Chain A
Amino acid sequence: MSIEVDGKTFETDEEGYLVNLNDWVPGVAEVMAKEDDLELTDEHWDIINFLREYYEEYQIAPAVRVLTKAVGKRLGKEKGNSKYLYGLFPYGPGKQACRYAGLPKPTGCV
């Protein structure tokens, strides 16, 4: 599988995650969101950027629980709950946001 971003082809696995996370450019998230009929707002980007920073530092995608707590701490308590995150990423913040961010699927996610 693959996706097209600005005329460039990016290889993805059978679930749509980028095969090579170093390939990631913001356009990857835009194209993936468009396929899901989702318009990315600054609130989405806050989460996507957080995920990329977290991965850079710890080399894994965070579990949803960890993501929720971290978002609450960084972006304000009113955003640190699953309702807010599912509102942004209806397919699940772990799975969907990680996919947009070019990260592998979080450990423990089935």
Chain B
Amino acid sequence: MSDTKNFMFLNRRAPYGTIYAWESLEVVLIAAAFEQNVSLMFVDDGVYELTKGQDTTGIGMKNFSPTYRTLGDYEVRHMYVDKASLEARGLSADDLVQVEWEDWETEESVDNIVEVVDSDRVAELLDESDVVFSF
């Protein structure tokens, strides 16, 4: 499709405390219906959105972290995580959820579309995007 654009959702905030992370996720879920190339980028405190083992019982909010794992089903092909942001918080790729992607017709599949990238690549990816939504 010639009018397909590259959409990048830039997530820079912790998952709870503000509504940004959840709002971003909801827009991603809706964007999938428009058959665009949707990618997500996690930088700064946004990297916490993808951490495993979240437990929100103490704050009385819904734990929406399991929802990220279905994004492959919503045709999201790439979820990039800024390496420097991870390291600054003492985290590594092992602390993050894995998200599978599979084309159900061709059975082509990717085990994990979450990819840790360095700052130069972050800049490059943002630059290549037609539309950047910042949350």
A residues with CB within 8 A of B = 54, 57-60, 62-63, 65-66, 69-70, 72-73, 80, 107-108
A-B contact pairs, 20 of them (CB 8 A): A54-B70, A57-B66, A57-B70, A58-B69, A59-B64, A59-B66, A59-B67, A60-B29, A60-B67, A60-B70, A63-B32, A63-B33, A65-B33, A66-B32, A66-B70, A66-B74, A73-B104, A107-B26, A107-B29, A107-B30
User: Across the two chains, which residue of chain B brings its CB closest to A73?
Assistant: B104
CA distance A108 to B74 in the complex (A): 12
B residues with CB within 8 A of A = 26, 29-30, 32-33, 62-64, 66-67, 69-70, 73-74, 104
Judge whether B67 and A66 touch: CB under 8 Å: no
Q: Identify which of B30, B33, B62, B66 contacts A58 (C-beta below 8 A).
A: B66
Tell me the smallest distance from the CB of B25 to a CB of chain A, in Å: 9
Apart from A108-B29, A108-B33, list 14 A-B contacts with CB within 8 A. A54-B70, A57-B66, A57-B70, A58-B66, A58-B69, A59-B67, A60-B67, A62-B73, A63-B32, A63-B74, A66-B70, A66-B73, A72-B104, A73-B104
User: Across the two chains, which residue of chain B brings its CB closest to A57?
Assistant: B66
Judge whether A63 and B104 touch: CB under 8 Å: no
Q: Which 3 A-B pairs have the closest CB atoms?
A: A108-B30, A58-B70, A107-B29
Q: Identify which of B30, B70, B104 contacts A62 (C-beta below 8 A).
A: B70
CA distance A63 to B32 in the complex (A): 9
CA distance A20 to B62 in the complex (A): 13
Please give, as numbers and ranges, the residues of chain A lying within 8 Å of B26 by CB-CB distance: 107
Please give, as numbers and ranges, the residues of chain A lying within 8 Å of B67 by CB-CB distance: 58-60
Tell me the smallest distance from the CB of B68 to a CB of chain A, in Å: 9
Tell me the smallest distance from the CB of A85 to a CB of chain B, in Å: 15
Please give, as numbers and ranges, the residues of chain B lying within 8 Å of A58 by CB-CB distance: 66-67, 69-70
CA distance A84 to B66 in the complex (A): 29
Please give, as numbers and ranges, the residues of chain B lying within 8 Å of A70 by CB-CB distance: 73
Please give, as numbers and ranges, the residues of chain A lying within 8 Å of B66 by CB-CB distance: 57-59
Tell me the smallest distance from the CB of B72 to a CB of chain A, in Å: 10
Please give, as numbers and ranges, the residues of chain A lying within 8 Å of B74 by CB-CB distance: 63, 66
CA distance A79 to B64 in the complex (A): 29
